Structure 1
């Protein structure tokens, strides 16, 4: 996500540069908070709930606690070919990946005609999120976690259905 310091000229001045005009592109590569392209990490259960979070960087020490606190050990996790996911087996998970760089987007491993190895569920979620953020025409880094949290909540409400009502009433009573 491209998220600068929209509406916060003091934060831009601290960076020691002029504000961006006409959405100038940043440097290529993985994003960081410093590059004003904070990484957003997401995990989704097929046909289920999603967890998304803005990160300062994409490193093992940042991702490992998120995965371990969200996913049960022994779970089969599907990812793309990014090297950090190679450690999933060390962390106690089963792991299969698709290689987008080689043009592979789905794979049928057992020959039943169903391509079970893919990350299309998460890719589809990213597409929905980008489409939802686009009308905002730029987002402040400080506010991005709130946008992400709201979108995650809305997505998960649709998946939880009536079970959510009980949880909300319980929270209100407390």
Structure 2
């Protein structure tokens, strides 16, 4: 105004000095001081590393829904539905984590990561669809699969991972 700068009031920000208007803080963020150059995300909300400061703050997604398994002589299939809550983002991918669980000598179930020769089609991590085929599994084994939905801010929070779980007994194959 009249060739004088005026500081942005709380709730607004200006990323760069210059003859531009102050912008209102994006959704789920705020600035509490005058002359803010960025709005900080509210608790439990985040901006991804490549997200512009003008983008709303977002959350990690909830767990995938309705995880089911199907099995035949040659393959085991996992299918699921997207999470109810995407966290406000569209960059959702899925990771399939696997454990093989067997009863030990004392009838205590012991779980360990799945054998490395288990094949996932298309792959176990960074899946963009909502299904995966698993080949070369062991017969007469118990597998527990955890499917996780992730987005661009999933690694930034301290909340526990949101997983959908299913246990598959490969005794069922071919029956």
Return the TM-score normalized by structure 2. 0.22
- Greater strand proportion: 2
- Greater helix proportion: 1
> Using CA pairs below 8 Å that are at least 6 residues apart, which structure has the higher relative contact order?
1
Report the structure number with the largest CA radius of gyration: 2
Return the TM-score normalized by structure 1. 0.22
